[in-house]
Chains A and B, each alone.
Chain A
């Protein structure tokens, strides 16, 4: 009994110490640019180690994963693979603030660029458009399109912040644009909002209802604090609302929007879409491409319907309007439909007397030891199917990049192959 009583107390003290250390670190960090020595702490033996924030990040990641899988479990998992996404970037006065360095604006632009690349990597069939808010007015930077380069160019070209911000104007503009796209496409808006208020010309609640009606999924990433109206908007339209703590977190939050969100079965109408799989033009053949109106030698694709030449895939044929893709693009979108189930966390307390736990002392993915400092068992996770143990880094890697569980692949392959053969 006394043992039991002691343990929670001890834990609590540890918690408190951790909290304090973190708190002080944070407020002092706010005053200096980048004092790297403060991200260090002394361990028991007096050695300096970096502050271990991986556990926090991992906890956040797991929560996200759980949320996504819970949302998916509720409905039939159906994911919109053809997405039409507008990114709204708030370049109002607040974007010039320097709590993110060098400024919120620069950081936003930097990560949006990364996001656009990642987005097209994961959703080759989708399209993006850019909208900025400045002086209370929403401007279209680029129209919907599938080429990352043109978006990035347009974005980087106009980096200045001024005036108020207006959520309603931005929503109205995007709504106007997205209302015309065909029903098989998923309409989404991702708003990067740095201001803390919105000066609107009319009733924003009506606009929100309008967006809800036309199934516009609005997500907001705030840069400073939680705003009620943004939360309301996301709740109503089924989007995600999050607020970035720091730059790394902002990046994570942005990239979270790269994989397609689960579509609600009733809204997603299955449609047949006409697509063309153009052939790569022969080396050395010369033609005028329809996108740049330039003569190009080799390196191009020919539309199977109108035989026009385009430079890159995926795109829409400028002549006949056919969607042109290549088969790897389709294949890349496929894994979203069959995600790996989230791994279970292994409780650290009971691990010492679990015999099986003792066997798997190293991560099945990277083969590194799972024991933390001082031979204490570190945090780890286990796959529900194959029961292999993985470290936290591998967990993230498997779910976010690999999309295959190495444990399941290695043990179950013979079976699945034989099944296929049957």
Chain B
């Protein structure tokens, strides 16, 4: 039950006090105030479709519609289909009229009853309006007190409304709104009761029945309003100048039944979504009725409902792009086939909303088999954006379908993003936030706190624990912000609440890692059922994410840290031996029984899961030689020593896991099986030792992680030891890398476990390579084009400089001064033609540094700065952010700016250069990976041997998807426009070019394939002029780019292919 906002608990306190200058309201005043408040309350709590004054208008409208319909039906030449429609509409309208009539008669009898009452007992002092199931258990109650001076207790005789009364009632309603009345909606239908306090002599049995001893539920607090009249002598007059005992309650026999069902479909959507409070300022100048009327009309929006095969799709916008519709059709087929799919659609075409609205609608249409949607995003920012879209969609669905459409959707992120405890949040990075949280929530810490009150605990977590199973989120869509607010409000820990709710939620939005990284997935995602739909958004780099999830690199620093950790563990073991030897023995016994049993661990203690994939973990007991804590520490010491020895090498070494393990066995005496259990054993040990500052123990965890992976996997990995960084051979920085080559390893369990996995992004070309890389069979794989009202992107391939010599970043041409000069000339010319922002991408940091130094020497940079300011991306995040910020400002104020950035850098992946922030993007060269990198070579070899993917093919594919990502930054919506220049002669070759995504290729004209600088300048001029002209957003007859509901219905009749070209 919802509580009223007012806090007036004693009789003397009033939530709203309204003073009038009149000495008495008089009977008519009282009547009108009651009447107006009645209307307001009914309206605000969505019991009637519009304000009372407007209702008669609506009623008239319905009647005319009814007569019109009748007239239409009598016409002889009505088609049967139309006739059926008209008939059903007529029935609806008739129904509405009846209901409306009923409502209006009730209200008018209520009014007359009130008038009678005031005639009989003019000095009425207390009136209560109650909304709810019964007067005893109200949802909302409004108590009105009227103070009168004794001498004017008479009734003037007529009920005409005078100006003073009108002003007063307006004032009242304004005051009511400012207290927040009506800002919360009550679920479900209700009835409205009226009670008045009057002397027992009142005799109106037809309208009012006495109700002695009336009192509502004790907990309930009504909202109290007092109308104070200006009385000269007795200002402090108590509200009851009769003896209170003399008055008894009378309940009015007429009650306004709920009329929610009678509200017209169009109206309903707006009314149910009314919880936005109307600001009091808004009402100050205009009469109240007009105001309320406007506010509903303004919000009345038409949205779309259409059918895709047998699924009714609810789409929260008025128009839909043709490609969105196609996307939904394909997605629906994939869901029907219970298979995986691969969909490419350019950014800026509303991929996310198409996806969400189809999947949620699909869920609604199959109520018997509820599917769960798991939506994986790359960044927290994208997560919030997705949830925002979902919120709009959800609101729309709920207004249309009512409570049955309610879902629970939430975002899940790390503690850093969800924690509300200020002390924990003070930690700077993610790992220390985690550790700080564990310090307060680990089970042994809490056990300790029970005895020792000085141990600090997290209040939020404690109250969450106390609420136990009652700690549930009500249905709705929760962004991270909402979760934090909810947690703060209730005093529950949002992080643990969210993790708990994951098993109940219908939609979960979280990061890739929660599914792909076995360390995290084992904890978070293990309870998802098979019927879930998994979506990977922006998944063009998914293979790299998979690989990273299973790769470990060990540096010298790591080993040193691990050594320190081991010392500390050693000390702890000794301490425990002295104080609590029983614990270690208990652990030993548990290990004999098998380590896989983790059932005894509480939720907060799960913080380390095995880095290997669930299917590859042996369900066996831990081998004997590491069961005892000190033995295990010895094993780890030996492992560290061995690794240190390996790091001391002078040469680059590459080894397979098998040979690494055998040499480890012969030199350090550690077997494969022992290695395999390292991670679990460490976890168990740290648990036993009750270690909470996990962030300090990261190095030893990394080492054990490495050991376990080496022990578990023989194929798909290799171990590479490099004594120094290739680019800086003079600085020794040995690194030992266990690199995974097979992206399919990490994602395989996801494909196996779940019914449908959707992989989608703006750039997935060539689309046939992804299934091979990830080794799965998609039932649908398609690439969609962008439908545009105008050619708003202009890709060009520039092969020659201004001196007609070829340009390229090929290794042998890279340092050629001619190429560098030509690139410089290109940029100088371009900045004088292109307004506002220009973005340049280079193939690597070193190349960028080199070329900029040369440009600086030859004065090219100076020429550029005459036109535009120049900004750089550096490897320092703060510096880059600052540069980006200033770049945007330079674009805003009209100075114009150039941003130099690097493909595969942070900027290329996550920052948008839309609108005037990027009118042109130049890709200097083809962003191949560093081909001499040992890891890459090993991976290429593996790909060739296992998947029969040629090295060249993979490298080109990878380079081109990076290039497409870079240039794709420039256009983020259809209203936007931008140019893309691929400045390298290699782009003109078919094998390279064909790997660009379809939506870029379709705009790449043959004439633009082999350009020199001067030609490109001319094209740019023409293009920019053309784009600056005003245009129609909806598209012309032939090319429709915004479909309305009618268009879709037509399409359903004629077949999809007809509209979508």
A-side residues, CB < 8 A to B, are 1, 4-5, 8, 11-12, 15, 23-24, 26-27, 30-31, 60, 63, 94, 99, 164, 167, 196-200, 203-205, 222, 224-230, 242-245
Contact = CB atoms under 8 A, between A and B. Distances in A.
Contacts of B1029: 60, 242-243, 245
A205 B893 contact: yes
Contacts of A204: 893-894
A205 B896 CA distance: 15
Interface of B: 832-836, 866-868, 891-896, 915-916, 919, 1005, 1007, 1018-1019, 1021-1022, 1024-1030, 1037-1039, 1054, 1058, 1061
A17 B1007 CA distance: 15
Task: List the 9 closest pairs (A to B, CB-CB), nearest first.
Answer: A229-B894, A243-B1028, A225-B1024, A228-B916, A226-B1028, A197-B896, A198-B894, A30-B1018, A227-B835
Given A197-B868, A245-B1029, A8 B834 contact: no
B1021 A227 contact: no
Contacts of B891: 228
19 contacts: A12-B1039, A12-B1061, A15-B1038, A15-B1039, A23-B1005, A63-B1030, A167-B894, A196-B834, A197-B867, A197-B895, A200-B893, A200-B895, A224-B833, A225-B919, A225-B1024, A226-B1024, A226-B1028, A228-B916, A229-B892
Contacts of B834: 196, 225
B946 to A, nearest CB: 45
A224 B1023 CA distance: 10
Contacts of A227: 835-836, 894, 916
Contacts of A27: 1007, 1018-1019, 1022
Contacts of B1022: 26-27, 30
A30 B1024 CA distance: 14
Interface centre among A1, A4, A8 (most CB of B within 10 A): A8
A24 B891 CA distance: 32
Contact of A245 (B915, B1007, B1026): B1026
A31 B1011 CA distance: 14
Nearest to A16: B1038
Nearest to A166: B894
Contacts of B1025: 224-225, 243-245
Nearest to B1040: A8
Contact of B833 (A12, A63, A196, A199): A196
A228 B1038 contact: no
A224 B892 contact: no
B635 to A, nearest CB: 64
B926 to A, nearest CB: 26
Given A196-B833, A196-B835, A224-B1024, A230 B1007 contact: no
Contacts of A31: 1018
Contacts of B836: 227-228
Nearest to B916: A228
A118 B836 CA distance: 34
B1005 to A, nearest CB: 7
A143 B891 CA distance: 33
Nearest to A10: B1038
B664 to A, nearest CB: 62
B477 to A, nearest CB: 34
B128 to A, nearest CB: 47
Contacts of A224: 833, 835, 1021, 1024-1025
A226 B835 contact: yes
Contact of A228 (B835, B866, B1024): B835
Contacts of A94: 832
A225 B895 contact: no
B1021 A30 contact: yes
A275 to B, nearest CB: 39
A5 B867 contact: no
Nearest to A199: B895
A212 B1005 CA distance: 44
A1 B1054 contact: yes
A203 B893 contact: yes
A244 B892 CA distance: 22
Nearest to B1058: A5
Contacts of A167: 894
A31 B28 CA distance: 86
Given A11-B1037, A203-B893, A228-B894, 6 more contacts: A27-B1007, A198-B894, A226-B1028, A227-B835, A242-B1028, A245-B1029
A200 B893 CA distance: 9
Contacts of B1005: 23
Nearest to B1022: A26
Contacts of B915: 228
A1 B1054 CA distance: 8
Given A30-B1021, A225-B834, A226-B835, A5 B893 contact: no
Nearest to A222: B1028
A242 B1058 CA distance: 37
Contacts of A226: 835, 1024, 1027-1028
Contacts of B896: 196-197
A65 to B, nearest CB: 13
A244 B1029 CA distance: 8
A218 to B, nearest CB: 13
A245 B1024 CA distance: 9
* Residue of A4, A222, A228, A230 with most partner-chain B CB within 10 A: A228
Contacts of B1028: 222, 225-226, 242-243
A386 B1061 CA distance: 41
A314 B1026 CA distance: 41
Contacts of A245: 1025-1026, 1029
Nearest to B890: A197
Nearest to A228: B916
Nearest to A31: B1018
B967 to A, nearest CB: 19
Nearest to A165: B894
B894 A197 contact: yes
A224 B867 CA distance: 14
A164 B895 CA distance: 11
Given A27-B1022, A244-B1025, A245-B1026, A11 B892 contact: no
Contacts of B1019: 27
B206 to A, nearest CB: 55
Contacts of B1024: 224-226, 243
A201 to B, nearest CB: 12
Contacts of B894: 167, 197-198, 200, 204, 227-230
A197 B891 CA distance: 9
A226 B835 CA distance: 7
Nearest to B1036: A15
B1038 A8 contact: yes
Contacts of B868: 197
A225 B1058 contact: no
A4 B1054 contact: yes
Given A27-B1007, A196-B896, A99 B1021 contact: yes
Nearest to A198: B894
A200 B371 CA distance: 58
Contacts of B1039: 12, 15
Contacts of A24: 1007
Given A5-B1054, A30-B1018, A228 B892 contact: yes
A199 B1038 CA distance: 44
A283 to B, nearest CB: 53
Contacts of A8: 1037-1038, 1058
Nearest to B1061: A12
Contacts of B1054: 1, 4-5
Nearest to A225: B1024
A239 B28 CA distance: 55
B895 A198 contact: yes
B1052 to A, nearest CB: 14
A239 B891 CA distance: 21
B893 A12 contact: no
Nearest to B1005: A23
A38 to B, nearest CB: 15
